[in-house]
Amino acid sequence: MADRSIIPRDIEGFNEYINQTNDYLILGSPTNAVRFGWTAQNLLDWQNFRTEWEPLYFQYSNRKGTYTTAIKDDMENIIAKAIVYDWDNKLTLKIKATVGLNSTDCSTFRIPLFYSMPIANKSQATKSKDINKTSMTEEKVYPRIKPVGGGFVDIGAYVEKKESGRPRKPDGYDLLEYKVAVFYSGTADVPTQVDDARLTLAYSTKAGFMADTTIYKSNLPVLAAGAVPPAKMAVFFFRWAKSKHPDLDGPWSGPFKTVLL
């Protein structure tokens, strides 16, 4: 299944991404990291992800020697941490908002090319202005959640209960923010409140997207050797969000539960 997220969730894709982005951030004068509005700490933390990743990838690549499933788990944890760090620090959003963003910036960070193009028509300009509106929505998210196999979940978010037409965000909102956790089916104490510490924060720039739940393993207990893993379930919360005005994010909806295939 194609990985359509900004930061790749698969090991080979992430390996290419973390290496090429780190190399690119220190190029130029001022450096690209400075151009993008990243702090020195942002850059250092991103470099540390690479430092942590490289020895594990070397061991992972040696399939007949040093490779173990524990190494793969450690690598997937690094991917998950990088994704959360990107969201918490708005790193990708800072790049998208960079004045003079070019096609090389976009291709390096897997950002759609249209972010490097000037606003060419009135409808695009109106959309940009909508994002900066200072009104808060009372619209809740009404999600359609459909597991499709391999830990992937097809999510469509709507502004009305009847879920008619195509998924869409309310006017002025450019993000669908969500929190997610994965458990073995039968777990009694799953999150019922959005502030549960076991939930991981994530986001999508689209109201319809494919969520990869395989990276959320922190709530899955270690099974005895030879035990057959139980079926898994995911718990979601959603809300509409504004990248530039987080104080105007909409109300949370949830919890929503689904069995994973």
**Domain boundaries defined on the chain:** 11-116, 135-259
Per-residue model confidence (pLDDT) at position 255 = 95
CA–CA distances in Å: residue 105 to residues 46, 61, 110, 203: 16, 29, 8, 21
Per-residue model confidence (pLDDT) at position 118 = 65
- Tokens 């978010």 belong to which residue? 157
DSSP class of residue 191 equals: -
Residue 255 and residue 192 in contact, taking contact as beta carbons nearer than 8 Å: yes
- Tokens 């959640």 belong to which residue? 145
Which residue positions in the chain have pLDDT lower than 70? 1-5, 118-137, 161-164
Per-residue model confidence (pLDDT) at position 137 = 65
Task: Indicate the pairing of strand 152-158 with strand 232-241.
Answer: unpaired
Per-residue model confidence (pLDDT) at position 163 = 65
- Terminal alpha carbon distance of the chain: 14
Token reading at 98: 């960079």
What distance in Å separates the CA atoms of residue 246 and residue 110, rounded to the nearest whole number? Answer: 24
CA 237 from centroid of its chain's CA atoms: 14
Query: Which residues does residue 180 pair with via DSSP β-bridges, in sequence order?
Result: 200, 236
Q: Which CATH architecture has domain 135-259?
A: Sandwich (2.60)
Token reading at 140: 């809740």
